Amino acid sequence: MGKKTYWGIIIATIIINVVMLQWTVEAFLGREYDVLFTYNIISLISAGVALFSYFQWRKVEYTK
């Protein structure tokens, strides 16, 4: 994959994390505790994908 693809993945996962943070806060304040775990898991997976993409981008960027 190219450098721009990695940056696209990183930006998309950051957007997902921001949305999950907003939904988590709204669910917590609305006392909808049953969906908090789901939102947190999605956010953690998204953060892992962003971190993995960053390391892959760094490898591609600095090997050429």
Q: How far is it, in rounded angstroms, from Cα 17 to Cα 1?
A: 23
Confidence of residue 23 (pLDDT cuts 50, 70, 90): very high
Q: Which residues of 19-38 are buried (b: 16+ CB within 10 A; e: fewer)?
A: ebeebbeebeeeeeeeeeee
Helical pair 3-29 and 36-63, crossing angle rounded to 10 deg? 160
Give the mean pLDDT of the chain: 93
Containing structural domain, residue 24: 3-63
Q: How far is it, in rounded angstroms, from Cα 52 to Cα 27?
A: 28
Number of domains in the chain: 1
Note the pLDDT tens digit of each residue in 45-60: 999 999 999 999 999 9
- CA angle in degrees (0–180, nearest 5) for 7-11-15: 170
* High-pLDDT (> 70) share of the chain, %: 98
pTM score:
0.85
